[in-house]
Amino acid sequence: MPDGSGKRREIPAGEFKAKCLKLMDEVKRERREYVITKHGKPVAKLVPLEEDQPREILGYMRGTIEIHGDIMSPLDVEWDAEKGILYNE
C-alpha cells in the first residue's frame, strides 16, 4: 500500500518471517516502511527508528541557566559557618 512516496510496501507475514533480518537492514538503510499482513489485512508495521542524537556530558545544560546580578563579589552578610556555629541553638 504505497503512501505516495514509494517508501511503504505491504508484505505477507510468511514472507516477512523468511526475510525478516534482510528487511530490517533495508528499513534502516533506505528509511522504508513495511506493513505486514495476514490474509491480506494489515497487522503490524516495520518502520525505521528515529535515532536521537547522543548528548555530550560536558555542556549539555548550556543555555538553561540565567544569572541575575553579580555572582562574583563577596556578600555583605556574615554566614554562620564563618562564626563556627554549626546549628542554631
Write out pLDDT tens, residues 25-82: 999 999 899 999 999 999 999 999 887 766 678 887 788 888 888 888 877 777 777 6
Residue 73 lies in a domain: no
Residue 41 lies in a domain: yes
- Domains identified in the chain, total number: 1
What does the pLDDT read at residue 34? 96
> Predicted confidence band at 20 (pLDDT cuts at 50, 70, 90)?
very high
What does the pLDDT read at residue 89? 54
- Which domain covers residue 36, as residue numbers? 1-49
Residue 88 lies in a domain: no
CATH number, position 39: 3.40.1620.10
Residue 37 lies in a domain: yes
Residue 65 lies in a domain: no
85 versus 29: the higher-pLDDT residue is 29
Residue 67 lies in a domain: no
Residue 17 lies in a domain: yes
Pull the grid cell for residue 6.
Answer: 514509494
